[in-house]
């Protein structure tokens, strides 16, 4: 496994309302990913589709889980950055 990379992002935030809007958008995206994880995992566990379709569902669940995890990390970074600045 390779060492993780670190990405630094600079994003101008003009107001507390902008920050709340950004956080809300990320939370909504995370909720959408979680919904897709649950929906596709449920379809997979109930045996819908052919074997190849279930393989595709497994891949899709993994992709949604990865996006969900990255959104969690981004939200945690925002929370940590705002805690420092308060």
Answer yes or no: is pLDDT of 46 > 80: no
Local confidence band at 35 (pLDDT 50, 70, 90 cut-offs): very high
User: For 55-83, what is the HEC assignment?
Assistant: HHHHHHHHHHHHHHHHHHHHHHHHHHHHH
57 falls within a domain: yes
9 falls within a domain: no
Enclosing H/E stretch for 54:
helix 51-85
Euclidean distance between CA atoms 85 and 82, whole angstroms:
5
19 falls within a domain: no
Angle at 56 between CA 66 and CA 54, to 5 degrees: 115
12 falls within a domain: no
pTM over 0.85: no
Question: Average pLDDT, stretch 9-27?
Answer: 93
Give the pLDDT of residue 71.
Answer: 97
Answer yes or no: is pLDDT of 4 > 90: no
The total of structural domains in the chain comes to 1
Among the residue ranges 37-51, 53-67, 69-83, the one predicted with the least confidence is 37-51
User: Which domain, by its residues, includes 45?
Assistant: 29-85
């Amino acid at each position: 496994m390779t060492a993780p990379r670190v990405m630094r992002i600079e994003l101008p935030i003009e107001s507390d309302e902008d920050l709340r809007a950004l956080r809300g958008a990320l939370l909504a995206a995370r909720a959408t990913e979680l919904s897709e994880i649950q929906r596709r995992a449920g379809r997979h566990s109930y045996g819908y589709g052919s074997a190849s379709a279930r393989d595709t569902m497994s891949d899709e669940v993994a992709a949604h889980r990865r996006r969900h995890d990255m959104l969690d990390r981004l939200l945690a970074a925002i929370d940590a950055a705002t805690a420092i600045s308060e």
